[in-house]
């Protein structure tokens, strides 16, 4: 029985891989995310773009606030400089991690993994 199930799943995948992946991920991953990674074209927006943009804006706001505190508060509270510089370093490393995460979540990077598609026009000999 298990073997039949395996072959059925394999044949479904071979006949219609997109439909098979959509059915296997239903209820686990939202359809817009699966669709984005399956088709990866310019008309589809990255479903993670909004939270990534919000995170980037928040980081920028916090960096500006820390810079202001370093400029105006440290002369009044010199002992705060070390902590503020530590926060600034943490924000800078968070921004670098955000850029890496953004690149990893882009469908174009995922679709570059693996071998290139063969060019069948050049492999056919007459």
pLDDT of residue 126: 35
Q: pLDDT digits over 5-40, tens only?
A: 455 555 566 767 778 888 888 888 988 898 898 888
Mind listing the pLDDT tens digit for each residue in 31-90?
889 889 888 887 888 999 999 999 999 999 999 999 999 999 999 999 999 999 999 999
DSSP string, 12-67: HHHH-HHHHHHHHHTTTS-HHHHHHHHH--TTSPPTTHHHHHHHHHHHHHHHHHHH
pTM for the full model?
0.69
């Amino acid at each position: 029985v298990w073997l039949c199930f395996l072959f059925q799943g394999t044949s479904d995948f071979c006949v219609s891989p997109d439909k098979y992946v959509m059915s296997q991920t239903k209820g686990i991953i939202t359809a817009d995310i699966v669709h984005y990674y399956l088709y990866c074209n310019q008309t589809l927006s990255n479903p993670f773009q909004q939270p990534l943009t919000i995170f980037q804006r928040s980081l920028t706001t916090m960096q500006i606030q820390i810079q202001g505190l370093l400029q105006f508060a440290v002369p009044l509270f010199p002992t705060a400089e070390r902590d503020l510089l530590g926060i600034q370093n943490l924000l800078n490393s968070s921004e670098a991690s955000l850029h890496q995460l953004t690149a990893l979540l882009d469908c174009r990077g995922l679709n570059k993994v693996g071998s290139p598609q063969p060019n069948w026009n050049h492999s056919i000999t007459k």
